[in-house]
Amino acid sequence: MMTLTINIERLLHELDLLALITDCPPIQDRPLPGTTQAVTRIVFTPRDLEARAWLKELVLAAGFTVREDAVGNTFLRWEGTDAGLGAVGTGSHTDAIPYAGMYDGTVGVLGGLEAMRSLKEAGFVPKRAIETLMLTSEEPTRFGIGCIGSRLLGGVIDPEAADRMLDRLPETDASAPTGLTLADVRQAAGFHGSLAGVKLPIGHYHAWVELHIEQGPLLEREGIELGIVTNIAAPSSYRYTVEGFGGHAGALLMPDRRDALCAAAEMILSVERHARAANANSGGVDTVATIGMVGVYPGAVNSVPSRVTLILDLRDTDVARRDGVLSAFHADIAEIEQRRGVKVQEEIVNADAPAKSSEHIVETVETICKAEGVSYKKMVSRAYHDSSFIAVVAPTAMLFIPSRAGVSHKPDEYSTPESIAVGTRMLALALAKLANE
């Protein structure tokens, strides 16, 4: 195996610089080490475009080429000596939900670039091309669905339907579209052409490995340096509109109310109860249900809510169990509708399959970890990732590094420099091995 040094100072510096491209004001009191910045970087906003321009400069300075597709997926490419062979890919995302941390996704993009750069500086010559991707909108913040770029690459979303998706920049009412579509927003951001051309042909990637922070507590708790992801839980998401009858908060008498928010509150507790029951039945922890967005209409302190929108995020490693939770939830909704005199409508946002890693790539990384003396464990990813959809068109795996206290999607998300260095080095060695197959 080659000797390889990662330039960790360069990588950490770039992570810091990227974190400064944010729509959040700087955090003054730095409550925990590593908490320098709350990051809000929503796809196709000025901050996202700034981050993209900054990244492209780094890539060109490092001597790699840049290609962007019609949805803004950005391919940083290092040519191999055999142009006829499928490439080896890595990458992740740089968009961030409101008040996020600075490591989610960014470690996979800047870590991928650093892996390519340090391999090049070590004199490595790849047979297959190596690419690092910056994938568009892994987060569902703006169009209601996550992994837009990787879904299009994997061909798991209809390109025309994708272009019609409504822009829903986070507002107080979770249902409020801006009146624009993805087609409008991406073109205004400078990404033209048909989304139909984004799908990757099978064989474009010989192999794909994404580096990411764990976003959960297991690696830190168990003192393990690297997680090798064997499968990714199946995500799904549903939008509910609860229609009731509102009015004056003083004058509308309690017997005459059909308060949409009270009905919605029962729904929130119902789905939580069914997810907990599914875990109790299985003896596991793989079922998770979250209602993280609630829109209340008209949203006045002295007005009884007449309409509420809820967005449910429901995930499981086992699709049948996930469907079981949904059916039990539906039965409760029917009962709540009856009893409270409200009407509930459901719209499926996405209902995806789980992803399974390539045994060959998992074994390749295991061999490297053993040779390098890096502790590892095979594990499930409960978060979804771009790899969930790249897996449809390429053999994939993911590498996880520990997250302090398992915290993510919050400003105090943190991974140590040592963890980032180990993860990036293991990524680089895996890319090198796979590129010469």
104 is annotated as contributing to ligand binding: yes
Contacting residue, 86, 89, 101, 105, with Mn ion by CB under 5 A: 105
> Mask of contacts with ligand GLV, 126-165, x by CB under 6 A?
-------------x------x-------------------
Q: Name the minimum Å distance from CB 263 to Mn ion.
A: 30
138 is annotated as contributing to ligand binding: no
Alpha carbons 83 and 55: distance in angstroms, whole number:
25
- The size of the interface with ligand GLV (CB under 6 A), counted in residues, is 4
Alpha carbons 418 and 425: distance in angstroms, whole number:
10
User: Which of 285, 286, 290 lies closest to 271 in space, CA to CA?
Assistant: 290
Q: Name the minimum Å distance from CB 196 to Mn ion.
A: 26
Nearer to ligand GLV, 191 or 384 (CB): 384
Provide the phi-psi class of 83: left if phi over 0, else alpha when psi is between -120 and 50, else beta.
Answer: alpha
CB 387 within 8 A of CB 400: no
> Mask of contacts with ligand GLV, 381-420, x by CB under 6 A?
--xx------------------------------------
Alpha carbons 181 and 158: distance in angstroms, whole number:
15
Provide CB contacts within 8 A for 193, sequence distance 6+: 69, 70
CB 112 within 8 A of CB 14: no
Q: Name the minimum Å distance from CB 230 to Mn ion.
A: 18
Q: Name the minimum Å distance from CB 407 to ligand GLV.
A: 14
385 is annotated as contributing to ligand binding: no
Nearer to ligand GLV, 145 or 368 (CB): 145
Alpha carbons 95 and 51: distance in angstroms, whole number:
9
Contacting residue, 104, 131, 220, 316, with Mn ion by CB under 5 A: 104
User: Which of ligand GLV, Mn ion, none does residue 354 bind (CB under 5 to 8 Å by kind)?
Assistant: none
| Beta pairing, strands 234-243 & 307-316 | antiparallel
Q: What is the 3-state secondary structure (H, E, C) of 263-296?
A: HHHHHHHHHHHHHHHHHHHHCCCCCEEEEEEEEE
Nearer to ligand GLV, 213 or 432 (CB): 213
Q: Name the minimum Å distance from CB 101 to ligand GLV.
A: 11
- The radius of gyration of the chain from alpha carbons, rounded to an integer in Å, stands at 23
Q: Which residues are annotated as a binding site for Zn(2+)?
A: 93, 104, 139, 212, 409
Residues at the interface with Mn ion (CB under 5 A): 104-105, 383
Residues at the interface with ligand GLV (CB under 6 A): 139, 146, 383-384
